[in-house]
Structure 1
Amino acid sequence: MSGDRTPSDRADVCVVGAGPAGALVAHQLGKRGYDVVVLEAGERFDPADREERMERSIRPGHGPLDVWEMGGDRDAYSSSGGIEYPLNSARVKGVGGSTLHWQGMVMRLHEIDFELASRTGVGDDWPIAYDDLRPYYAAAESELGVAGAADNPFAPPREEPFPMPAFRPSYSDSLFAEACDDLGIAMHSVPNARNSEPYDDRGECVGFGTCKPVCPSGAKYSADVHVRKAENEGVRVVDRAPVQRLVHDAAGDSVESAVYATPDGREHTQEARAFVLAAGGVEIPRLLLLSASERYPDGLANSSGLVGRCFMDHLFAGMGGTLDEPTRQNHVGFITSESHQFYDEADEDVGPFKLEFLNYAGPSPVEMALSGDEWGDDLLDTLRDGYGGHVAMGALAGQRPRERNRVTLDPSVTDDHGNPVPEIQWSLDDRTRNTLRRANEIQRDVLTELGVDIEWSVGPENTGPAFHHMGTTRMGTDPAESVVNPELRTHDLGNLWVPSSSVFVTSGAMNPTLTIAALALKAADHVDEAL
């Protein structure tokens, strides 16, 4: 790795962000022969350090921000609105982005998600259909390496087999299966971006169980995989180079350069023919707002006034307790079974949601041992008495797009470069609360049928986000009602593309990374066509 952070000569493409979207775009364009520069705000983490980061993640002396070096003035933010939004609880700035610590679940959005207004009268339709993304979904599954099976009768149509076989159901999945059979609830496997067998020069999952926040073995996909592939194609990746603003030409028709800072306190200007914003659903609108000019006083690409607006996330509903028999929780660090049975039943009162059968309820033996001060036989007795009977279910619920939910700038708080920090203005609507309530009802039915002593629940009154940032540069055909067009190019500037969950028109209730990857591959084709 070179420490040179000076700008390259005018590049073909400048990509902002080295997470999954930026890495895939850079790799695709690099292998097609384009001169590509990637500017990443965070550092480049050494894969050799991941075992130490795993240890750090499970020791009680470290907080969740310590694992991936988050916090401080660089990552400052504000939150207002109906609910406090804990932005830093689940984000990483670095080469690899959020995939350094993600859960690794990769589902396609359903057909209904693209046609929600037509089918339910809620929200808006996307300007593209499921079939438009279908080939990109297949390509994304191949690029990331997805283990899955064609056993989900509620999934959208597909023709291609998954690149790898699905992971086997966990032991606790088998307990849930009997209760679900009695209630007429179908269970099925979960597509995971982790290797169930060797794939793409990476080994199969070895079961560390610490998938979130760190996979030491490399079996779970992270975007630094494609960063390395991009660099092998000649792409230049500059870390610790946060972009401060974008500068447009005199006419305001295109972006000329990205101004970025370096650790020595200097600013540099990177020129390019095309620009791709891939820094996530919070930092992308923030950068556009920070790039306000005389031509665009309300922020770049913001003639619609919608940059930062319609912020959406997925909300969690959950319930759990104890069972008077071993459940073998925490033997698997990820979800192996779900139910999407109720997803397409969405209407104007209840949105889409999916049920999750968790494999990590209650404390693990390691957590129990490290959090106490017992040793020897006393510790062994505690582990025998306190571990093994926990069981829980989760769910993700979609949120409708509302302009009042937004990412804006807070000029009263500045980051380490003196820029206003992002402010998250966030609240819930009644439809989302109804959806969480409905998920809780089904969870209670299943756990009661299983004989669980229910001890806790998370629902409409105490829910929290899944940290899936969506909707802040929404896609559409009308420049007055959207920020980017169906080709992911901004309406206002002809050489600026945004392949991100920020372009989502509706949230759905599926983890968004596979759709982000599909959009990145789609954007790469459009940038290629334009150049």
Structure 2
Amino acid sequence: MDDHYDIVVIGSGFGSLFFIKQHLQNKPNAKIAVVEWGENRDRNWQISNKRNSDFSPEQTHAQDKNHKPWNYTIGLGGGTNCWFGQTPRFIPADFEMKSRFNISDDWPFSYDDLEPYYMAAENIMSISGSDKMGRVSPRSGSFPLPPHRVSAIDEIMMAAQPNLHFPIATARSPLALQNRNQCCATAQCNLCPVNAKFTAYNGLTDILTHPNITYIMNAQAREIIHHNGIATGVMYLTVSDEERSIYGDLVVLGANGIQSPAILIRSGINHEQTGVGICEQLGYEFEIFLDGVDNFGGSTITTGLNYSLYDSHPNRENAGAALFYFENRVKHGLRLEQGRWRQVLPLLVAIEDLPQSSNRVTLNAQGQAYVSHASVSSYARAGLEHVNDNLSKILAPLPVERIVTLRERPTESHIQCSLRAGHDAKNFVVDGNSLHHKMSNLVVVGSSTFTTCPPANPSLTVAATALRAADKLV
């Protein structure tokens, strides 16, 4: 009986920890075990070793000849350790792609259904932002923290486009808090040197130290144990490759978008859509040279978000929506002209992709996760073309000297859509409450369950959907 729990959770990233937090709010006496592949590497270890984990992603999966990077962190806290803290919400249209644009699929719940959980997640993470963002993502309350100081460029854009340009919503604190310091704006967010960014270690310590939770570290979850269509436990490997099993009344699968489908496949939990559709946003970088306006005066790595081709996308049925990130870091160098070295804007554009059946997660001959990713969709490519056609008009409020197209980014580090959620049990792996369609007592959390791949960062939505899944379970 020592090995039997109310819940056995695989992984300890955003989805898992936010699910646990909400479940303990509802059932404070629940006995929970967390099976984590990696180590407990706190912030001091990360800073000293200049890395987030003992593992590199390439050690944990194989892939096809395209060798597209897929970034994730294996270790206690998962993606809460390595993210940059960008936390825009999705917008209402993202959840209704089929209904509004006759493209892809609708999510099995609406923006309004998720909005209370967006608020809850923002409060847990002490998100900084401007309530004016409610013009694109409606809000039932204010942000916990005020927005960061924006740049002079953002000031011009906000004055000209007040319904489309806003200070970024972020988990990097603009103030000194009890458990976090003020953002230092040195653009070292992957390993925040001053502990200003939300992580599990500074924002979920109640979960990491909870007496009802047993953390089993260095334990690679291999299979979900099931019998007669009911999930009953997890088989994992120790560092010495010894097989061990742990049992529970409920299993929560919260590994990332590559490892979660691999675990299901190894478990013989068969669904024809398992692993199908893995994708992330298409990222592109530009450099904008300006005449007479200095940049880099904001108080965080990214200062502004522009929704000109996102919320007001005039052609979204044919081309992916785009979100523009106005950056406050010297990413591509300073200008050489005397007195004009700051008159340049690094601009990142994230464009939504669509899940495609040609992109999927399977297993190789050794039983290791294997990723095949042929290409981004033509829909995303059309979105990039739409960006190129409209960028000058979007930036018209600025004194633009010239626009330089730099490069397509190899990855946005946002693995999504490999275990998609939807009402139809044949075409979707999980339902609207994050329950597996074909296996009882199995909950799946994380961005793998996203139905589509909007252009905004996914972490806040992962946290919100996990909170909602725990509530719906009760």
Q: Give the TM-score, by structure 1 length.
A: 0.81
Pairwise CA distance, 1:263: 1.9
CA distance in 2, matches of 1:48, 1:257: 34
1:77 to 62, 67, 92: 62
Q: Which amino acid aligns with 2:172?
A: R
The alignment status of 1:282 with 2:278, answered yes or no, reads: no
Contact 1:15 1:39 in 2 (8 A): yes
Where does residue 19 of structure 1 map in the other structure?
Answer: 13
Q: 1:267 to 1:69 in 2, by over 3 A?
A: same
Pairwise CA distance, 1:445: 4.4
Contact 2:148 2:299 in 1 (8 A): no
The alignment status of 1:268 with 2:237, answered yes or no, reads: no
Where does residue 35 of structure 1 map in the other structure?
Answer: 31
Where does residue 142 of structure 1 map in the other structure?
Answer: 123
Contact 1:322 1:390 in 2 (8 A): yes
Residues 330-385 of structure 1 deviation map (CA, whole Å, 9 limit, x = unaligned): 975521211113213253211221111111243579xxxxxxxxxxxxxxxx9989
Q: Which amino acid aligns with 1:68?
A: S
Where does residue 222 of structure 2 map in the other structure?
Answer: 244
CA distance in 2, matches of 1:73, 1:436: 29
Residue ranges of structure 1 left out of the alignment (5+ in a row): 1-6, 57-65, 293-299, 366-381
Q: Which amino acid aligns with 1:25?
A: F
Contact 2:77 2:200 in 1 (8 A): yes
Contact 1:24 1:226 in 2 (8 A): no
What aligned pairs does 1:412-491 form with structure 2 within 5 A after superposition?
A: 414=366, 419-445=367-393, 449-458=398-407, 462-491=408-437
2:304 to 337, 357, 363: 337
The alignment status of 1:157 with 2:135, answered yes or no, reads: no
Residues 429-473 of structure 1 deviation map (CA, whole Å, 9 limit, x = unaligned): 222111112223333445685334444433xxx453312111111
Pairwise CA distance, 1:169: 0.6
Contact 1:355 1:439 in 2 (8 A): no
2:79 to 98, 113, 131: 98
2:180 to 186, 203, 208: 203
SS in 1 for 2:190: coil
What count of residue pairs does the alignment treat as equivalent? 468
Contact 1:117 1:123 in 2 (8 A): yes
Contact 1:17 1:40 in 2 (8 A): yes
Pairwise CA distance, 1:495: 0.4
Q: 1:342 to 1:154 in 2, by over 3 A?
A: farther
2:348 to 374, 394, 400: 394
Q: Which amino acid aligns with 1:429?
A: S
Pairwise CA distance, 1:271: 0.8
Q: 1:135 to 1:48 in 2, by over 3 A?
A: same
Q: 1:52 to 1:170 in 2, by over 3 A?
A: farther
CA distance in 2, matches of 1:101, 1:144: 15
Contact 1:40 1:240 in 2 (8 A): yes
Where does residue 359 of structure 2 map in the other structure?
Answer: 405
SS in 2 for 1:263: coil
Q: 1:486 to 1:391 in 2, by over 3 A?
A: same
Q: Which structure has the larger Rg over C-alpha atoms?
A: 1
Where does residue 512 of structure 1 map in the other structure?
Answer: 458
The more displaced of 169-178 and 188-197 is: 169-178
The alignment status of 1:215 with 2:192, answered yes or no, reads: yes
SS in 2 for 1:521: helix
Q: 1:186 to 1:484 in 2, by over 3 A?
A: closer
Contact 2:281 2:455 in 1 (8 A): yes
Where does residue 311 of structure 1 map in the other structure?
Answer: 278
Q: What's the Cα RMSD here?
A: 2.8
Where does residue 69 of structure 2 map in the other structure?
Answer: 86
Q: 1:350 to 1:361 in 2, by over 3 A?
A: farther
SS in 2 for 1:466: coil
CA distance in 1, matches of 2:158, 2:441: 51
Pairwise CA distance, 1:427: 1.1
Residues 394-436 of structure 1 deviation map (CA, whole Å, 9 limit, x = unaligned): 111111222222112222xx4xxxx323223241222211111
Contact 1:185 1:339 in 2 (8 A): no
CA distance in 1, matches of 2:299, 2:337: 18
Contact 1:195 1:219 in 2 (8 A): yes
Residues 246-289 of structure 1 deviation map (CA, whole Å, 9 limit, x = unaligned): 1211x2x1112211122233221111110101112111111111
> Alignment identity in percent?
25
Structure with more of its chain in helix, by fraction: 1
What aligned pairs does 1:43-54 form with structure 2 within 5 A after superposition?
A: 43-53=39-49
Pairwise CA distance, 1:35: 0.2
The more displaced of 470-479 and 7-16 is: 7-16
The more displaced of 101-110 and 216-225 is: 216-225
Q: 1:24 to 1:212 in 2, by over 3 A?
A: same
Q: Which amino acid aligns with 2:64?
A: S
Q: Which amino acid aligns with 1:400?
A: L
Pairwise CA distance, 1:387: 5.9
Pairwise CA distance, 1:226: 5.4
CA distance in 2, matches of 1:10, 1:384: 69
Residue ranges of structure 2 left out of the alignment (5+ in a row): none
Contact 2:309 2:387 in 1 (8 A): no
CA distance in 2, matches of 1:28, 1:307: 27
The alignment status of 1:356 with 2:334, answered yes or no, reads: no
Q: 1:330 to 1:21 in 2, by over 3 A?
A: farther
Pairwise CA distance, 1:104: 0.8
